[in-house]
A = this chain, B = another copy of it.
Amino acid sequence: MNIETQIEEANKKTVDVLVKGRPVWTDVQPAGDVIPNMKSNTILIAGPPIDVQKIVYPVKVALCGAAIYEGLAQNADEAWNMVLNGEIEVASAQDYSCACGAAMATSASMPVIVCEDKTFGGKGFCVPHPGTSLHVLRWGFYDDEIQRELEWFRDYYGPALGETVRKARGVDLHMVLAKTAGMGDENHNRQPAASMFMALHLLPFMLDSDFPKKDRIIKEYTANDRFFLHVMMAGAESVIYSARNIPMSTVMVGMGGNGVEFGLKFSGTGDEWFTTPAPKILGQFLNPSYTADDMLGFLGDSCVTEVYGLGGMSAVAGPGYVRLTGHDFSEAKRRTENARAVCLGEHKFAPIPWDDFRGFPVGVDMRKVVGLNIVPTSHGGGTLKAGGQGTAGSCDFPIECFKEGLVALSEKVKGAK
């Protein structure tokens, strides 16, 4: 079998996983109990691995906050020293099949959404979305109020979500995406339809429960029109789990930013991240006083949804978001067409009515990106250097990462000969 055929066979396997994987939200459990290799002193952050000295300010705040919340340290200084001296182990969430939105730091006692790929068996994890307030750990803030909120999630909200979803015998994310097809979600930065649908889907199970603080939990859960994002991040990770490490495959299986560097992972190159200085997510500033100078480089793992074909990849499915961030419908269409040009698969369970009922693309092939010189566009929320969300916008996938990946794979192929 020549190399081209080997690559094509490998990619077929990878895309098969991405297309046929069936992510189901099955549980909510403490991160340390369910994420393999996660220890009590492990704290997961977004993007490719980073020298802890270089960690950006909002992530540093979240990291130290998580350490205090865990009781690992008494205050931020102590926590930061423990990070520097290695007593606290900082790792890339995606290397643990977990995803951290924006500046989020995920620690062992935090409840995480557990998704299982019912076809291939992988699992993925993500904390429940904290709600629409920007004053949260996820955006790089930590104080007494946020500490109480983290405790609320650990002691009440997380366990109640877990009980509910177990009672519902899980929620099939393809079902959610199919039921809300043609309802304007691109499912990275815009998911009101999926969130509303899932809120109402689980509501009867919540009403029939008797967990403490039921009314507050129901109100909080059903009011959050971004709730589905973090479920989908865990769902994407659960499928991606089985798409990794397929020798010779040129398909993208990881994507994230740590604020300094942006990185991609590919199936055939294993655990390696291919990085480049992180581009900024620009579009609509959320406050007219903000400028591009206030923004960090790409930060966060929410773009694992893009790996799964959502967000900018299916921009045409959610054109309202593209308009919000300064463009028109044709730009939404262009983004999805670009993605289609470099993808090997298509999700067909959620047809897009205004795009001739086509599905959305999945499985970015680095050969196509480099060969055609076409890069997809990721949607995303940009983080301010001082913490908080500064933009809702987009950013092209940096082509450098694809080039590096291609070189690395070709070296690997040569080495294997």
A residues with CB within 8 A of B: 181-184, 192-193, 196-197, 199-200, 203-204, 207-208, 215, 218-219, 222-223, 319-320, 323, 328-329, 332, 353-357
Residues B196 and A197 in contact, CB atoms below 8 Å apart: yes
- Closest residue of B by beta carbon distance from A316: B354
Cα A355 to Cα B181 with chains together (Å): 17
A324 to chain B, nearest CB (A): 10
The 7 closest A-B pairs by CB, nearest first: A354-B354, A319-B353, A196-B196, A182-B184, A182-B320, A183-B183, A183-B184
Chain B residues with CB under 8 A of A355: 354
Q: Which chain B residues lie closer than 8 Å to A204 at the CB level?
A: 219, 222-223
Distance from A84 Cβ to chain B, minimum over Cβ atoms (Å): 45
Q: Which residue of B lies closest to A225 (CB)?
A: B200
Q: Which residue of B lies closest to A196 (CB)?
A: B196
11 A-B contacts (beta carbon < 8 Å): A182-B184, A183-B193, A193-B193, A196-B200, A200-B223, A204-B219, A320-B353, A328-B356, A329-B353, A329-B354, A354-B354
The answer for the CA separation of A184 and B320 in the assembled complex, in Å, is 12
Question: Do B184 and A200 touch across chains, with their CB atoms under 8 A apart?
Answer: no
Minimum Cβ distance to chain B for residue A415 (Å): 49
Q: Determine the distance from Cα of A320 to Cα of B181 in the docked complex, in whole angstroms.
A: 9
**A interface SS class:** helix
Contact B323 A357 (CB under 8 A): yes
CA distance A353 to B321 in the complex (A): 10
- Contacting residues, chain B, for A199 (C-beta < 8 A): 200
A146 CB to nearest chain B CB (Å): 24
- Contact indicator A218/B207 (Cβ below 8 Å): yes
When chains A and B are docked, how far (Å) is the Cα of A314 from the Cα of B377? 31
A184 — which chain B residues lie within 8 A by C-beta?
182-184, 353
Q: Which residues of B contact A207 (CB under 8 A)?
A: 215, 218-219
Cα separation A218 to B206 with both chains bound (whole Å) = 12
Q: Which residues of B contact A320 (CB under 8 A)?
A: 181-182, 353
Q: Which B residues lie within 8 Å of A356 (CB)?
A: 328-329
- Shortest C-beta distance, A222 to chain B (Å), equals 5
CB distance A319 to B182 under 8 Å? yes
- The CA of A314 and the CA of B212, in the complex, are separated in Å by 45
**Which listed residue, B192, B328, B354, touches A183 by the CB 8 Å rule?**
B192
Docked CA distance A207–B213 (Å): 12
Task: Report the nearest B residue to A352, measured CB to CB.
Answer: B354
Give chain B nearest CB distance to A210 CB in angstroms.
Answer: 12
In the complex, A353 Cα to B190 Cα: how many Å? 14
Q: Bound state CA distance, A182 and B207, in angstroms? A: 31
Bound state CA distance, A104 and B160, in angstroms? Answer: 42
Most B CB atoms within 10 A — which of A193, A200, A204?
A200
Whole-angstrom CA separation of A170 from B69 in the bound complex: 42
Q: Please indicate the chain B residues that have their CB under 8 angstroms from the CB of A200 in the complex.
A: 196, 199-200, 222-223
Question: Which of B222, B223, B319 is close to A354, meaning CB atoms less than 8 Å apart?
Answer: B319
Query: Distance in Å from the Cβ of A297 to the closest Cβ of chain B?
Result: 30
- A416: min CB distance to chain B, Å: 48
- A410, B197: Cα distance in complex, Å: 51
Residue numbers in B under 8 Å from A181 (CB-CB): 320
On chain B, the residues within 8 Å of A215 by CB distance are 207-208
State the Cβ distance, A106 to closest chain B Cβ, in Å.
Answer: 28
CA of A197 to CA of B223, assembled, Å: 10
CA distance A180 to B222 in the complex (A): 16
How far is A215 from B214 in the complex, measured between Cα atoms in Å?
Answer: 13
| Min C-beta distance of A175 to chain B, whole Å | 14
Q: Inside 8 A of A193's CB, which chain B residues have their CB?
A: 183, 193, 196
Alpha-carbon distance A227/B378, docked complex (angstroms): 36
Report how far A197 CA is from B353 CA in the complex, Å: 21
Seed contacts A192-B197, A203-B219; 8 additional CB < 8 Å A-B pairs: A182-B320, A183-B192, A200-B200, A200-B222, A204-B219, A319-B353, A328-B357, A329-B353
